[in-house]
Structure 1
Amino acid sequence: MIPLLVCDDSAMARKQLIRALPADWPVSITQAAHGEEALAAIRQGLGPIMLLDLTMPVLDGYQTLAALQAEGLQSQVIVVSGDVQDEAVRRVRELGALDFLKKPADPALLLETLQRHGLYQAANQPSSAPPAPRAELELKINFRDALREVTNVAMGRAAALLAKVLGVFVQLPVPQVNIFEVSELHMTLLDAQRGERLSAVCQGFIGDGIAGEALLLFHDSEVADMARLMRWQPADDAETAEMLLDLASILIGACLSGLAEQIDVRFSQGHPQLLGLHASIDHLIQLNQKRWKKTLAVEISYSLEGQDIHFDLLLLFTEDSIRRLTHKINYLLS
């Protein structure tokens, strides 16, 4: 049996990736939830081949590849990530990765990649013999982990588009998934404000029984830097608002498109609306407290490398959408 290490913080992602492996590949699979666990497994000889995610807590994929080089550890690494920025691909190759595949991994492309690098060799058994069952497929996946992973892939595609528009590298977080009462949402937004004044753009979406709003928060102290990156020179608040609406349309649209593609939904999107310019969170809450009651919230905080700029994106799903969204995500796992 060939030792294979699958490193990803999402149990859903590990399950999808293990399912995508060639059925007749005789591998013994070890799983790791972050880079530190992966390095410990490799030191024990359990990871001569590794499939590695990039966006993880504790030790991310870039740091893991760097640590492999620093320690002189031997592992042939194929990165499988939702972060599909051109710069991400370039960096992992520079750090020694053999190849890069986007999530979710296509089984045919994964097989071709393993063959091209001489990593795949079919089991020496009659073709009529059924493959041995993989106990790893019995992973228990909860709804929040699954939604977090689906969002991770969607935000990676949005980041790739944003990176091209702004000419920067977008640093991606692990998305946060929570079910909030409106008072809890208020506290979360207050925390995001960090004592600053904000401008906020909201865009509604609906499709196949799933509805909600995307809320994008910009810190006013960073707007001038964003204008510089976008080669805008806003002369007044009206032009600033136009710039923020354009940027929000790119980021929200790409993220929703990536989400819709994975769960097989076609979202209709409303026009982005400016909720407030140079406003406090309290004002934004007062404007929208009737719409934001109990909600499923996915929080993504993008930041731009080398810039003091970040965006807080909240995908707020209505309470009535949770059942349908759960059904759609469960279908991905069946």
Structure 2
Amino acid sequence: MGNPLPVIICDDSRLARKHMERALAPWNLAITHANHGLEALEAIRAGKGELLFLDLNMPMMDGYEVLERIRSQDLPVLTIVVSGDIQPEAHARVRNLGALDFIQKPINIEHLSRSLHAFGLLEEVTAATPASASASEPILTGTTSNSPIEQALALSGHYQELANVAMGQAAGLLAELMNTFIELPIPSVKLVEAGELEMAMQQSISQSSFTTVCQGFIAPGISGEALLILNGAQPDQLAQLLNHHGEINAQVERELTMEIAAVLIGAFLNGLGQQLDLNFSQSSPKMLDALPRRGNLTRTGQPDRILSIDISYRIEGLALSCDLLLLFTEDSLPKLNELASHLS
């Protein structure tokens, strides 16, 4: 069978690394995990990786920077990018930086196998090789706690990876619509008190440079609100991005804002629903000039916690930014936790 090929899996999501490791189980590999780009470069220099599977959106050093370092320092490693960013421009950029291939999250095993064999990287081993990931890095499922809040905290890495994939799908649609490149962040997932959230929302609504769109959504056992906050949105920029020609009045500006909101919110919920096997129903979007009624997200008189997923899209070359905030009620946590834990 020969010596195992040294492979590095670089992703800030522990769940994503384990999914990648499981996908690679049919091959004879010696796998090293890296939490971010700097760790991956250290592992390459230490001789731990002839092949690198690389995420793009990571703290400290992202995938683009890693590829630039590999090329500039002539490091001895072949790289395949594995990312939720489906923008054609992202694919083109990583290939120009030397990546052999781009595999979209969630991982398609057939695509992975075709890629590895196309480049002659690996030979399949016998069927006796275990087809499961090693137990070296266990994943918390959050199922041992009786508290939905504690379960959600334990599953925060799962929610971040779910958001990462859904975020990439939404950015892909927005980039296609606007014919531009969307800079993707690392999603922020946390549990917040209702009062803390209301203060932050009130601050954004009160600022004249911010435009906020609100849209409710439901699925079996799940409900919440999506907020899209546009910062620095000028009517002429919106018209240019959405290829609108003609007069721009208040009604047209409103319609352009609603169009961006529909794309981002709808695409994100669709991407999230596909991963959780859910169909989200959405209410009509509306401009938010005042806070929604407290009952929309909280139970009156109770200090509810809200699961918040915060994503800040940046449009390359423009001052315009889009902050997408997904807010799930505390009553939604049991169902969400159940579905998210199955990803393990």
Same fold (TM over 0.5): yes
Amino acid at match of 1:145: G
Q: Which amino acid aligns with 2:138?
A: E
Using the TM superposition, name which of 7-16 and 196-205 deviates more: 196-205
The DSSP-based 3-state class of the residue aligned with 2:99 is: coil
Which whole-Å CA distance do the structure 2 matches of 1:128 and 1:185 have between them? 52
Q: Give yes or no for contact 1:3–1:47 (8 Å, CA) kept in 2.
A: yes
Q: Check the 8 A contact 1:163/1:169 in 2, yes or no.
A: yes
Q: Which amino acid aligns with 2:64?
A: Y
Residues 307 and 328, structure 2, Cα contact 8 Å, conserved in 1:
yes
- Give the C-alpha shift of residue 133 in structure 1: 6.3
Instruction: Name the structure 1 match of 2:261.
Output: 248
Match of 2:319 in 1: 308
Q: Encode CA deviations 1:256-302: one digit per residue, 9 max, x unaligned.
A: 000000000011111111223xxxxxxx33x4444244311100100
Bigger mean CA deviation after superposition, 234-243 or 89-98: 234-243
Question: d(CA) in 1 for partners of 2:272 and 2:32?
Answer: 29
1:210-229 matches, within 5 Å, as: 210-229=222-241
Query: Is residue 2:169 matched to residue 1:157?
Result: yes
Other-structure match for 1:13: 16
Once the two structures are overlaid, the 10-residue window that deviates more, 221-230 or 55-64, is 221-230
Distance 1:191 1:78, change over 3 A: farther
Partner of 1:149, secondary structure, is helix
Determine the structure 1 residue equivalent to 2:138. 138
**Partner of 1:138: helix, strand, or coil?**
coil
Q: Which residue of 1 aligns with 2:146?
A: none
Tell me the CA shift for residue 236 of structure 1. 2.4
1:168 partnered with 2:180: yes
Who is 2:329 aligned against?
Answer: 318
* Matching residue of 1:106: 108
In structure 1, runs of 5+ residues without a counterpart are 277-283
2:82 to 57, 63, 80: 80
Alignment match, 2:213 = 201
CA distance in 2, matches of 1:129, 1:228: 55
CA distance in 1, matches of 2:258, 2:322: 13
Alignment partner of 1:45 is 2:57: no
Aligned counterparts of 1:307 and 1:92: Cα–Cα separation in 2: 22
| One-letter code aligned to 1:110 | L
Q: Are residue 90 (structure 1) and residue 92 (structure 2) matched?
A: yes
1:115 shift after superposition: 0.9
Which amino acid counterpart does residue 263 of structure 1 have in structure 2? L
Alignment partner of 1:291 out of 296, 299, 308? 296
> What is the aligned residue count?
322
Partner Cα separation in structure 1 for residue 10 and residue 281 of structure 2: 35
Per-residue deviation, 1:186 = 3.2
The aligned counterpart of 2:288 is 275
The aligned counterpart of 2:148 is none
Match of 2:144 in 1: none
Question: Is the Cα–Cα contact under 8 Å of residues 196 and 219 in structure 1 kept in the other structure?
Answer: no
Do structure 1's residue 328 and structure 2's residue 339 form an aligned pair?
yes
Identity %: 41
Give, in angstroms, the shift of residue 188 of structure 1: 3.7
Give the distance between the partners of 2:90 and 2:129, measured in 1 at CA.
41
- The SS at the match of 2:230 is strand
Greater shift after overlay, 191-200 or 54-63? 191-200
Distance across 2 between alignment mates of 1:193 and 1:41: 46
Farther-moved stretch of structure 1 (310-319 vs 181-190): 181-190
What is the letter of the counterpart of residue 222 of structure 2? I
CA contact (8 A) 1:19 1:137 kept: no
Partner of 2:243: 231
Q: Cα 1:128–1:167, aligned 2, differ >3 Å: closer, same or farther?
A: closer
Correspondence list, 1:52-63, <5 A? 52-63=54-65
Asked if the contact 1:5/1:32 (under 8 Å) is kept, the reply is yes
Residue 74 of structure 1: CA displacement? 1.4
For residues 268 and 77 of structure 1, do their structure 2 counterparts lie closer, same or farther at Cα, with a shift above 3 Å needed? same
For 1:128 and 1:307, the matched residues in 2 are separated by 54
Rounded to whole Å, the distance in 1 between the matches of 2:202 and 2:75 is 45
RMSD value over aligned CA atoms?
A: 2.0
Question: Unaligned 5+ residue runs, structure 2?
Answer: 142-153, 299-304
Query: What is the CA-CA distance between 1:198 and the residue it aligns to?
Result: 2.1
- Structure 1 contact 15–136 (Cα < 8 Å) conserved: no
